[in-house]
Structure 1
């Protein structure tokens, strides 16, 4: 009976880890992660900052989506090899943030809710795509 080497020592896995470490240690990746955390925190607090906390369901949605966005993007810098799929979740959260005023608030939406969510959602979407693109560019290279 032969002993199989453990997967942690496989050369391809070591190469993949070093590539992901190179991606996340660049100033660009760190800037994307920082901006994403700020965006997520703003999204979570936006009902109170933009003044639409009276729209209960949308305020709760923004709080949950903002915190989820922070969680998705915060793990990318330290453990990208295990969490890179979460960048796609961040993209979906950005898209949802854009359409949430119409999907949730309905007739109660105001100009400030729409503007706040559309701009924040677009920024979140772009930051998620930027993180996905950084990993794709590194894999292709």
Structure 2
């Protein structure tokens, strides 16, 4: 039986450079891990807001719009969590979606009341700010465009 209790220095391990590269890749994509959860919650709030604020029957077009936008935000938030290296290039889209949500009551809806306007303004503002945080982290980390090796699923081994 092999002695597995020996804990030596890993500096002599033949795969130490590959292990360091992999460790850096795994930790490198989590710059905005604290943004993924709130973004997910904002998406859920947007999706159910027509029924919470009670404008699903008076503004059916806006209710459908908020449901679709909420689902899209949830999908992007899940993508940021599951595949951060590939999804951070889309983080700017959250800013656009947030700005659109702010003006949507007047473009998509008809004669919106204060509750509808405030709901979309707050959710749109939060989406914009969280998208801005994702974009800033992606630009700071240089992950707006993955390299060809990352897109192909390959990494450089030294």
Same fold flag (TM > 0.5): yes
Moved over 6 A (4+): 16-20
Separation (CA, whole Å) in 2 of partners of 1:17 and 1:81: 13
Moved more, 118-127 or 89-98: 89-98
Distance 1:19 1:97, change over 3 A: farther
Kept after mapping to 2: 8 A contact 1:97/1:117: yes
User: What is the CA RMSD across the aligned residues, in angstroms?
Assistant: 2.3
Who is 2:136 aligned against? 133
Q: Distance in 2 between matches of 1:96 and 1:79?
A: 25
CA contact (8 A) 2:47 2:71 kept: yes
Which residue of 111, 116, 124 maps to 1:121? Answer: 124
Aligned residues between the structures: 123
Report the Cα distance in structure 2 between the residues aligned to 1:18 and 1:68, rounded to whole angstroms: 31
Which entry has the higher C-alpha Rg, 1 or 2?
Answer: 2
| Residue in 2 that maps onto 1:99 | 103
Q: 1:24 aligns with which of 21, 29, 44?
A: 29
**Gaps (5+ residues) in structure 2?**
1-20, 144-158
Structure 1: gaps spanning 5 or more residues: 1-15
Compute the TM-score of the two structures, normalised by the length of structure 2.
0.70
